[in-house]
Amino acid sequence: MLEGAFASAFIRADKENQAGAEEHVPAIKVFEGPLCCNTGVCGPDPAQALVDFTADARWVADQGVPVARANLAQDPAAFAADGLAVAFLKTAGAEGLPLVTVDGVTVLAGRYPTRAELARYAGLSTADASTQEACCGGAAAEADCCTPAVQTVQVASPSGGCCGGDR
C-alpha cells in the first residue's frame, strides 16, 4: 500500500499520464471470404449484407475509426500475416468467415456486424449509429429527416470479370 507523500506523487503522476495520453482508436479488422472485388459490392446484384456492411464500415470510418477489410481472394497476405486469422481458417475454414476482430480479439464470426455493433466496437455511442434515433425523435425533427439517405455505389461494368458478363 502506498502512503504519505510518495502516494500523492504517484497518484498525481498517474493523473497527468492519463490526461496527456492520446485516446485509443480501436483496430477493427474484418477478414472476409473470397469476393470478386475488394468490397463485394459490384456486379448487377450484390448481396444486401455486403451493401449494408460497406455503408456501415464507411460510417464508422467517417466517425474517425477506420475499419480494415481483408478479402481472402484479393488480399490473402493479410490473412497470412495475422495469426488469429490463420488459426480461424484452420479451425472454421473459409465457410466461417467473415471474422471480425478488435485489437486482436475475436468479437464476431460467421456474419457481418450491424452498424450498432460496429459503433460499440469503435467505442462510439450506439445512439449515433441510428439515423432514425438521431434525427427522427423529439420536437426538433425536421421534415424529410427520416427519408433514407441515398448512397451511390460504383458498380463494375457487366462486360467482364467475375461480377458479371464474360469471364
pLDDT at 118 over 80: yes
Confidence of residue 134 (pLDDT cuts 50, 70, 90): very low
Average pLDDT over residues 120-149: 56
Q: What is the mean pLDDT of residues 121-128?
A: 84
Tell me what pLDDT residue 156 has: 39
Closest CA to 72 of 53, 88, 55, 52: 88
In the chain, % of residues over pLDDT 70: 63
pLDDT in tens, 57-75: 999 999 999 999 999 999 9
Side chain identity, residue 65: V
Reported as a single tens digit per residue, the pLDDT across 137-161 is: 443 334 443 333 433 333 333 444 4
Task: Tell me: pLDDT of 94 over 50.
Answer: yes
Lowest pLDDT segment from 88-92, 114-118, 145-149: 145-149
Per residue in 1-16, pLDDT (tens digit) is 445 544 444 444 454 4
Q: Cell numbers for 26, please give them.
A: 480501436
For residues 85-107, average pLDDT:
97
Q: Give the tens place of pLDDT for each residue, 15-49.
A: 445 555 578 999 999 999 998 877 778 777 788 99
Domain 24-131 belongs to what architecture?
Answer: 3-Layer(aba) Sandwich (3.40)
Domain ranges of the chain: 24-131
Phi and psi based region of residue 21 (left: phi greater than 0; alpha: psi -120 to 50; beta: remaining)? beta
Closest C-alpha among 21, 25, 23 to residue 102: 25
Q: How high is the pLDDT of residue 162?
A: 53
